[in-house]
Chains A and B, each alone.
Chain A
């Protein structure tokens, strides 16, 4: 068993300031660098003293990996890189790189604005920190150095969220960050291949929960907003700049369109354009439906949602306003809340978690008389609703991911100790992770003999160690089609047919006349004996075996007759 050391510097058995140090094969990697919004002092950041005592940070750490843009995963990053002194590489996906500075900037502004904190990271520091970022693509193997490589997998959760595999030699760890195993309105489900890591470090926010269908929550949300607007009330939805806000915008936009509603919907602080920009830029990170619809209409170009101006809050009549920040602890959302709180026709919907000490937390816990500044008491008569739209995997989803990745061991983080204990038992029961000498185990790998030693290693590792080049094995199949037309025309017909049938997949017609569906290649050739028959040469990799078989059976059924 290789020695892999995991030291949670934060979010071991709680939520907030996620920061995990992993030592694997002599390399040290920091996974996430988050902050805790519940504290205003040093405790808001992970305790870095455990690593600073090991000498210079840049020498000790080989890299930092950020899983996604939420502040509990990246909020301490500028502090760590610009104030504590880490000067090495920081890896994250392209969307995370784009969105992270916006949220950090929001957070900085609130800290300076609300609390008047002077000793805080500056805009320049955020920028300097972002310049150290190396952006990665999904499934791209990134060589951090000669020995350490990382690879990102889709995690759902929020735009750009990724799970990371960290590999040194034949040892590997997968860190999930936050993930979601069920697709939602705008994002797909998390996915990982059977990478069989030595260790899977997974979040366990909902370790004991099987969450109800999101559809029910969405229906409930729309019903509540609709009721409030119908009775002439104003609805405030406090949100953070990017993420959940866009999901709810799509939801309301579609509903307004369908119901032909006229009440205005506003989105504060120019965030619509910003969000729109990023979702357009990273359209491949959204789910199938949005990608497909995008060809006809960009789902983030909202017809009903307009930019908010401070003066609109006083306008008579119903309206819906998305305003920042999400916990009602400062700025515009708090200002609007104070204006609207006294009217029972109005409603505030909190779509996420609020830390203690914020107005959001107070109203969610049922407090209705709030002491504001200057001993003023604000009576909250408006309706208060909480709806969790958070996108974490539930217990079933976590089990599903463990099944997908087939790790040797699992480490649960980012959750509560008690709930983790329960999930631990479930995982042990289902996957029997504990070694059982009597039970046969299936092992995958390549047996190599080197220096009179046998070792079973992954095929990639074997290639590397033996200095061999990789050969790709493709399955092939020939399909005969009765078609007297020229080969190019047959290929065109195949393309049109597959395009109409395989809507979920990327079907392309290449300039050389061949057709591709994912990794599957189809070429049309003339039959050597029968000029009225064409031969379709189909080949595919083992990864697309299922699709390859499906496609050949489709082609064997023949092509539809072209309309005359």
Chain B
């Protein structure tokens, strides 16, 4: 393989090469190029070529491409070789085009490749473009991506014009492969931006007639497309403009929009409006551009015109986009909001709600739209309502949302929609009847409405409406027809509404209104906790955990909860067949117990009850549950208990920690082991005297006097065998465990230093034996347990270890060796011919 190109000058590049590619890779590269150039040696794994390009990208971005070519002539050889007529794989051809583009991104390298006429042969008519390989989408894609990389400098622009590439890109905009078509559009935007970077930047007053030829050609093409009768061509032109105005805010975009906006406006005169979706995107992109929105006089009129021309479905996203704009005329905002609210107005009207609500929803006071025209069929009705509710949900939390925000009518409309869906609304009009028939049982609308209802909890509403909100939520939570996904959303919305309820002054308890609701809600919860669907049981438990976390300390809530079956049922769910539910039950029980809401055997409600202690129950789950989720949930609860000084733990903390660590250290799930170390860290902090936050309802453990000596401080840690766990974990096969252990021991070492003095003077044989064990563990042997370690030995071992070095090594991801370029090259070379026919498979 010879390039026939002159040897490039090395002046000015001395000393850089070593930074570009390491010698091992340089050595392997010729073999790689030979393999790629040989059609009889197909590269088995298609990800390899992608990764090779990633590597070349890093290299070319970091250093000189010319030098890379000079040091590795095999690359040039490969590029020349792929041009020869042969049965080369489209993947390799595509790879070569992309590589050539990457290299030619630097002007000196571009000039060098031009000297050998290599680039026209690769990207011009004489190359793959005119051959059979062009039928492969991967080759067309490679051609575009190659040019995209190459187009970085003025010389590239001349090249594009000379080789007729722009015309090919125009035609590729309509390519059968979506990926190719989309990339072609992006490339046009890039070329337009590049060609105007120099000339138009300096002269903002320059008209398009004075623009470089390449840019003029693209503009003419866009104009032609906008005038076309074919929607796909119009869409392509609109998409190119949207991307251009979205990415570039240079003054020349103003000139461009000035020239093209009349053509865009003409589209609105057609019926139906072609490519409405793309048109909306373009207009919003123009409105968001600081350059265009401030200067374009007719923009707001065009937007207003578009809003009124488009169908309600098409106008929704435009209305939302307008309302999200920071700067926009008030009239247009009002019009946009009216468009957005139209479907809800329609619902309220059809269900004969109070006219006062309608006025505030439909600010324009224009002719109201009927259900028949706006929501003519079930599909149209469902689609439009879902979209409207979602748009309003997005708008609600924004600072630029319309003001005043019609909270009450929106609440009214949402509650009405939910009632229509559940069948509990009894509309009297025909239109209402139609709506009811469309919406009854519609899960999609229920989900969207519940999401929006939850968002509306951030505002306030008249008491009467809030009562209705709670009533409809209760209806959904109670209804046997509610699907699991709907129930989940109903629980979420309920929690948000309860949270937003005003608290009773002084006692931070739930307001009487919410409290009343809670009394009705708690009898519903047991039914959901007994649901045959695990999704429902789980959502019920998640809701319960949130509730206890928020109101567990409040007397009214506590009374209501204890009077219900909920605590007992929750405990039963610890043995649920579904692991997700068991994990949620563990979390809920942990909360119940922390708040003193678990019905204990000693309680007067259950005299003579033979109940196992929760601690024992959770330890049992930790040791025996076959799934990781419940075990992880237990560790989370235990850590929280230890942190909060939970009564069951505070009684004999050392015994608790020792038992938990013993079980957690044996767990096969690394996340449980990592959480074990988290718990160890909490214990360590408590033992060494760092203050930790206490839960107001927890039993406060007796405050230990600060230990007088280091040995005394470390003794409890030694007794719970924390060090054996931590030292073993340092060499755990799962990296996060090792990292956590390393951090823990580093923290401990720093703490021990504060006690001062060389106290790490354990007996030499003991220290040596621990160090020997550490070496065995590092080598992968399990070995015998260390048994009790004296604090002095621990300190000595800690001080002798290179924990910083270990932490550094662990900070690197464990597949960095496999991910290295050298490994990639070795793999590609080794794979050639090694894998059989059936290498492709699923996993």
Give A residues with C-beta under 8 Å from B: 7, 13-15, 26, 36-40, 43, 47, 50, 53-56, 58-59, 70-73, 87-89, 101, 105, 109, 112-116, 123, 127, 130-132, 145-147, 178, 205-206, 209, 211, 240, 268-270, 273-274, 310-311, 314, 326-327, 329-332, 334-335, 338-339, 352-353, 355-359, 361-362, 364-367, 371-374, 386, 388, 390, 392, 415-417
Q: Is the CB of A209 within 8 A of B835?
A: no
Q: How distant is the Cα of A310 from the Cα of B839 in the complex, in angstroms? A: 31
Query: Is B727 an interface residue, CB under 8 A from the partner?
Result: no
Q: How distant is the Cα of A146 from the Cα of B781 in the complex, in angstroms? A: 62
Other than A15-B841, A206-B838, give 16 A-B pairs with Cβ distance below 8 A: A39-B47, A89-B443, A123-B632, A131-B539, A145-B382, A147-B379, A209-B838, A314-B781, A335-B733, A357-B823, A361-B831, A362-B827, A365-B827, A366-B830, A372-B817, A392-B841
Q: Is the CB of A365 within 8 A of B835?
A: yes
**Complex partner residue of A40 from B814, B819, B823, B828, CB under 8 angstroms:** B819
Shortest distance between the CB of B238 and any CB in chain A (Å): 12
Q: Is the CB of B842 within 8 A of A178?
A: yes
B715 cross-chain contacts in A, Cβ below 8 A: none
8 inter-chain pairs at a CB distance below 8 angstroms, sorted by A residue, are A15-B842, A47-B179, A55-B277, A131-B485, A331-B733, A353-B839, A362-B818, A362-B826
Shortest distance between the CB of B339 and any CB in chain A (Å): 16
Q: Is the CB of B813 within 8 A of A114?
A: yes
> Is the contact region of chain B dominated by helix, strand, or loop, or is it mixed?
helix
Q: How distant is the Cα of A14 from the Cα of B49 in the complex, in angstroms? A: 13
Shortest distance between the CB of B530 and any CB in chain A (Å): 18
Q: Is the CB of B834 within 8 A of A365?
A: yes
Shortest distance between the CB of A371 and any CB in chain B (Å): 5
Q: Is the CB of A357 within 8 A of B824?
A: yes
B50 cross-chain contacts in A, Cβ below 8 A: 39, 43
Query: Is B167 an interface residue, CB under 8 A from the partner?
Result: no
Shortest distance between the CB of B460 and any CB in chain A (Å): 27
**Contact A356 to B824, CB < 8 A, known contacts A113-B736, A366-B834:** yes
B485 cross-chain contacts in A, Cβ below 8 A: 89, 131-132
Shortest distance between the CB of B833 and any CB in chain A (Å): 9
**Complex partner residue of B46 from A14, A40, A274, CB under 8 angstroms:** A14
**Complex partner residue of B842 from A132, A147, A367, A390, CB under 8 angstroms:** A390
Q: Is the CB of B51 within 8 A of A356?
A: yes
Shortest distance between the CB of A466 and any CB in chain B (Å): 20
Q: How distant is the Cα of A114 from the Cα of B841 in the complex, in angstroms? A: 23
Q: Is the CB of A371 within 8 A of B823?
A: yes
Query: Is B120 an interface residue, CB under 8 A from the partner?
Result: no
Closest A-chain residue to B668, C-beta based? A269
Shortest distance between the CB of A422 and any CB in chain B (Å): 13
Q: Is the CB of B390 within 8 A of A364?
A: no
Closest B-chain residue to A112, C-beta based? B736
A47 cross-chain contacts in B, Cβ below 8 A: 179
Closest B-chain residue to A271, C-beta based? B626
Query: Is B447 an interface residue, CB under 8 A from the partner?
Result: yes
B816 cross-chain contacts in A, Cβ below 8 A: 373
Q: How distant is the Cα of A390 from the Cα of B817 in the complex, in angstroms? A: 29
Q: Is the CB of A357 within 8 A of B842?
A: no
**Contact A116 to B735, CB < 8 A, known contacts A56-B390, A88-B444, A388-B841:** yes
Q: How distant is the Cα of A525 from the Cα of B49 in the complex, in angstroms? A: 74
Q: Is the CB of B626 within 8 A of A274?
A: yes
Shortest distance between the CB of B373 and any CB in chain A (Å): 20
Q: Is the CB of B733 within 8 A of A205?
A: no
Q: How distant is the Cα of A83 from the Cα of B182 in the complex, in angstroms? A: 24
Closest A-chain residue to B814, C-beta based? A114
Closest A-chain residue to B834, C-beta based? A365
**Contact A356 to B47, CB < 8 A, known contacts A116-B736, A274-B626:** yes
Q: Is the CB of A367 within 8 A of B830?
A: yes
B840 cross-chain contacts in A, Cβ below 8 A: 15, 205, 353, 415-416
Q: Which 5 pairs show the lowest CB-CB distances between chains A and B?
A: A353-B841, A38-B47, A365-B830, A335-B733, A365-B834
Q: How distant is the Cα of A339 from the Cα of B731 in the complex, in angstroms? A: 14
Q: Is the CB of B843 within 8 A of A353?
A: yes
A417 cross-chain contacts in B, Cβ below 8 A: 90, 136
Q: Is the CB of A270 within 8 A of B841?
A: no
Q: Is the CB of B671 within 8 A of A109?
A: yes
Query: Is B123 an interface residue, CB under 8 A from the partner?
Result: no
Query: Is B551 an interface residue, CB under 8 A from the partner?
Result: no
B669 cross-chain contacts in A, Cβ below 8 A: 109, 269
Give B residues with C-beta under 8 Å from A: 45-48, 50-51, 90, 136, 138, 178-179, 182, 277, 281, 317, 378-379, 382-383, 386-387, 390, 443-444, 447, 484-485, 488, 535, 538-539, 580, 626-629, 632, 668-671, 733-736, 780-782, 809, 813-819, 823-824, 826-828, 830-831, 834-843
A371 cross-chain contacts in B, Cβ below 8 A: 817, 823
Q: How distant is the Cα of A390 from the Cα of B842 in the complex, in angstroms? A: 8
B813 cross-chain contacts in A, Cβ below 8 A: 114-116
Q: Is the CB of B838 within 8 A of A388?
A: yes
**Complex partner residue of A50 from B178, B632, B780, CB under 8 angstroms:** B178
A314 cross-chain contacts in B, Cβ below 8 A: 781-782
Q: Is the CB of A364 within 8 A of B835?
A: yes
**Complex partner residue of A367 from B817, B826, B836, B838, CB under 8 angstroms:** B826
Q: Is the CB of B838 within 8 A of A357?
A: no
B539 cross-chain contacts in A, Cβ below 8 A: 131
B828 cross-chain contacts in A, Cβ below 8 A: 356
**Contact A374 to B809, CB < 8 A, known contacts A39-B47, A59-B390, A327-B843:** yes
A88 cross-chain contacts in B, Cβ below 8 A: 444
Q: How distant is the Cα of A373 from the Cα of B814 in the complex, in angstroms? A: 7
B48 cross-chain contacts in A, Cβ below 8 A: 356
**Complex partner residue of A357 from B90, B447, B670, B815, CB under 8 angstroms:** B815
Q: How distant is the Cα of A339 from the Cα of B538 in the complex, in angstroms? A: 42
B827 cross-chain contacts in A, Cβ below 8 A: 356-357, 361-362, 365, 367
B819 cross-chain contacts in A, Cβ below 8 A: 40, 357
**Complex partner residue of A364 from B47, B383, B443, B834, CB under 8 angstroms:** B834
Q: How distant is the Cα of A386 from the Cα of B835 in the complex, in angstroms? A: 9
Q: Is the CB of A114 within 8 A of B735?
A: yes
Shortest distance between the CB of B437 and any CB in chain A (Å): 11
B488 cross-chain contacts in A, Cβ below 8 A: 131
Q: Is the CB of B843 within 8 A of A352?
A: yes
A335 cross-chain contacts in B, Cβ below 8 A: 733, 780
Q: How distant is the Cα of A116 from the Cα of B814 in the complex, in angstroms? A: 9
Q: Is the CB of A54 within 8 A of B818?
A: no
Shortest distance between the CB of B107 and any CB in chain A (Å): 29
Closest B-chain residue to A339, C-beta based? B780
Q: How distant is the Cα of A26 from the Cα of B378 in the complex, in angstroms? A: 14
A355 cross-chain contacts in B, Cβ below 8 A: 45, 47, 843
Q: Is the CB of A270 within 8 A of B447?
A: no
Shortest distance between the CB of B268 and any CB in chain A (Å): 20
Q: Is the CB of B670 within 8 A of A310?
A: no
B780 cross-chain contacts in A, Cβ below 8 A: 335, 338-339
Q: How distant is the Cα of A332 from the Cα of B670 in the complex, in angstroms? A: 11
Q: How distant is the Cα of A357 from the Cα of B824 in the complex, in angstroms? A: 7
A268 cross-chain contacts in B, Cβ below 8 A: 668
Q: How distant is the Cα of A200 from the Cα of B816 in the complex, in angstroms? A: 42
Q: Is the CB of B841 within 8 A of A205?
A: yes
Shortest distance between the CB of A53 and any CB in chain B (Å): 8
Q: How distant is the Cα of A26 from the Cα of B379 in the complex, in angstroms? A: 11
Q: How distant is the Cα of A167 from the Cα of B317 in the complex, in angstroms? A: 29
Q: Is the CB of B782 within 8 A of A311?
A: yes
